[in-house]
Amino acid sequence: MLTSKQRAYLRSLASNLETIIQIGKNGINDNLTITVADALAAHELIKARVLETSPLSSREAAEELAASTGAEVAQVIGTRFVLYKKAKEPKIELPK
């Protein structure tokens, strides 16, 4: 569970990130979940976007992907959201 200070720190890091995942009309499927899990393993912090054609809201998509990948939702703003999952060898040092 992230504290508010840690979440704020992750939001500041995510502001410079490019969106690497897009969720469209097919919603969330097994392939997308695997892609998100791989991206989290490689980067720890990822930004995703929910397109207008998606059957899910950005909050629903963020929570569903976080639950299926073991990640934490760091931020949801509009159609974009940020997920964080600590790697085995962390690159991001979270504040206490």
The token pair at 39 is: 């991206």
Fold of the CATH domain 4-84: Translation Initiation Factor IF3 (3.30.110)
pLDDT in tens, 61-84: 999 999 999 999 999 999 999 999
Indicate the burial class of 77 (C-beta count within 10 angstroms; 0-12, 13-18, 19 or more): exposed
Query: What percent of the chain has a predicted confidence (pLDDT) above 90?
Result: 88
User: Taking 90 as the threshold, does the pLDDT of residue 88 lie above it?
Assistant: no
| Domain boundaries of the chain, sorted by first residue | 4-84
Query: What is the chain's Cα-based Rg?
Result: 13
The mean pLDDT of the chain is 94
- Residue (of 42, 41, 53, 40) closest to 81 by Cα position: 40
Residues 54 and 25: beta-carbon distance below 8 Å: yes
Mean pLDDT over residues 38-42, rounded? 95
Rounded to two decimals, the pTM is 0.93
Residue 73 CA to residue 2 CA, distance in Å, equals: 9
